[in-house]
Amino acid sequence: MAAEKFTVETSLIRLFAQALGDTNPVYYEETAAGTDAGGVIAPPTFIQASAHWDPDYPLRWQPDKPWNGSGPTEGTRVERTGGGTGLHAEQHYEYHRPLRPGDVLTATTQPGKSWTREGRRGGTMQFRESVTEWRDEAGELVLTTRSVGVTTGKVVTSEGGDK
Amino acid sequence: MATWTAENVEKGAKQSKVVADGLYRTQIVQYAGASGDFNPLHTDEVFTTKIAGYPSVFAHGMLTMGLTGTLLTDALGNGTLRTFGVRFRSQVWPGDTLTATATVTDVTRSEDGTLVSVDVETVNQKGEVVVSGTATAAL
């Protein structure tokens, strides 16, 4: 996640909760006041939606940029999506306080460890970690995320990633 | 209201929730729209089957983690989580039914409150683990 700035908004929290099928009243402004949180807060994995605020996010179609999905053709195999592919191996969050609508967050991302492992189904697997700190406008750390991505040597078949 | 409170939570307590009951491709698309992750592997059946070589599109790992998180907030309340981390163990496919289970592994009560540690695991209809991890919450 490389959004330099991310404004937390009720509408996006609503969309995110709806996508998870989560009817918890805390995510909807018409019902949140009556909950233990006293108002809308963001779901635990909501920071992923900061991708919308990243001008260079590679997994969103944008005009005048190459896209590898189907359309004019059946698509194009590229390193970051198709066979011989980058997949998400681990995701970790450390919460310092809940995110609320109106929060304006800034991110600082640093690479973490990297390592390789021989997989049973995926060939040689290359793991890379990145750590992002999210701070509010007062400079307070509100959320730390640690993501581990894996690049496999071949398509990982239906029984899933190697353990 | 949360199932587990500072007063009633005990080590060994367990709670499960069906977090997906026959996953629709449309829900995967909804998650793409909400999260902003439009990777064709999750949204484009033509690309994923004909170019990438998978049997169909599959769910974002983060959709499965988010679904698993709904169990944690049901069980532990809103805004109580201090950590939540998972490994993605197997892919989740359209049609899958997923059941998430949280098991309390530790409860520490002090003047500052009650800190709860849980193991969390989500399995598909075949019993295969799709994500596993841990979370902590301050109640």
Domain that holds residue B76: 14-23+60-138
Query: Residue A34, exposed/middle/buried by CB under 10 A (0-12, 13-18, 19+)?
Result: exposed
B46 inside domain: no
pLDDT at A125: 87
What are residue A15's phi and psi, to 5 degrees?
A: -60, -40
Its pTM stands at 0.93
Query: Is residue A94 scored above 50 in pLDDT?
Result: yes
A70 touches chain B (CB under 8 A): yes
Q: What is the mean pLDDT of chain B?
A: 97
B119 forms beta bridges with B103, B134
Among A10, A23, A48, A60, the residue to mutate for chain B (most B Cβ within 10 A): A48
The CATH number for B81's domain is 3.10.129.10
Cβ–Cβ of A95/B83 closer than 8 Å? yes
Is the pLDDT reported for residue A84 higher than 70? no
Residue among B110, B20, B120, B34 at smallest CA distance from B76: B120
What CATH number does the domain containing A34 carry?
3.10.129.10
Q: Which residues of B touch A54 (CB under 8 A)?
A: 36
* Confidence at residue B59, expressed as pLDDT on a 0 to 100 scale: 98
Helix (H, G, I), strand (E, B) or coil at A118: strand
Which domain, by its residues, includes A111?
5-58+80-151
Is residue A107 one of the residues assigned to a domain?
yes
Closest B-chain CA to A74: B47
pLDDT bracket for residue A2 (50, 70, 90): low
For A52, which of B36, B50, B130 is closest by C-beta distance? B36
pLDDT at A5 over 60: yes
A19 contact B CB<8A: yes
pLDDT at A81 exceeding the cut of 50 = no
Give me the pLDDT at residue A161, please: 36
The answer to whether B40 contacts A49, with C-beta atoms less than 8 Å apart, is no
pLDDT of res. A160 = 38
Cβ of B84 within 8 Å of Cβ of A95? The answer is yes
pLDDT band of A118, cuts 50, 70, 90: confident
Per-residue model confidence (pLDDT) at position A4: 81
Number of domain units in chain B: 1
What are the Cα distances from residue B5, in Å, to B10, B114, B120? 9, 9, 18
Instruction: Tell me how far CA of residue B96 lies from CA of A140, A151, B42, B91, in angstroms.
Output: 40, 25, 14, 10
Q: Measure in Å the smallest separation between the Cα of A85 and chain B Cα atoms.
A: 9
Do the domain assignments include residue A104?
yes
Cβ pair A91:B74 closer than 8 A: no
Please list every residue in chain B whose beta carbon sits closer than 8 Å to the beta carbon of residue A43: 66, 69-70, 73
User: Buried (b) or exposed (e) across A53-83, using 16+ Cβ within 10 A?
Assistant: bbeebbbbeeeeeebbbbeeeebeebeebbb
Number of domains present in the structure of chain A: 1
- Whose tokens are 């709860």? That residue is B116
CA dist A8 and A91 (Å) reads 20
Least confident piece of the model among A35-49, A68-82, A108-122, B57-71: A68-82
Picking from B39, B46, B91, the nearest residue to A160 by CB comes out as B91
Shortest CA gap B9–chain A (Å)? 17
A9-23 mean pLDDT: 98
Please, is B126 exposed, middle or buried when counting C-beta atoms within 10 Å of its C-beta (0-12, 13-18, 19+)? exposed
Average pLDDT over residues B95-113: 97
**Is the predicted pLDDT of residue A158 greater than 50, yes or no?**
no
Q: Is B50 inside any structural domain?
A: no
Q: Considering the domain boundaries, does residue A65 fall inside one?
A: no
pLDDT at A106 over 50: yes
> B51: which residues sit within 8 A by CB, 6+ positions away?
A68, A70, A74, A75, A76, A77, A82
Which segment of A19-23, A111-115, B96-100 scores lowest on mean pLDDT?
A: A111-115
Average pLDDT over residues B22-45: 97
Distances (CA, A) of B68 to A19, A48, A97: 13, 15, 20
Write down the pLDDT at residue A131: 96
In a domain, B44, yes or no: no
Q: Tell me, what's the pLDDT at B130?
A: 98
Residues 28-57 of A with CB under 8 A from B: 35-37, 41, 43-45, 48-52, 54, 57
Which residue of A54, A75, A90 is in closest CB contact with B40?
A75
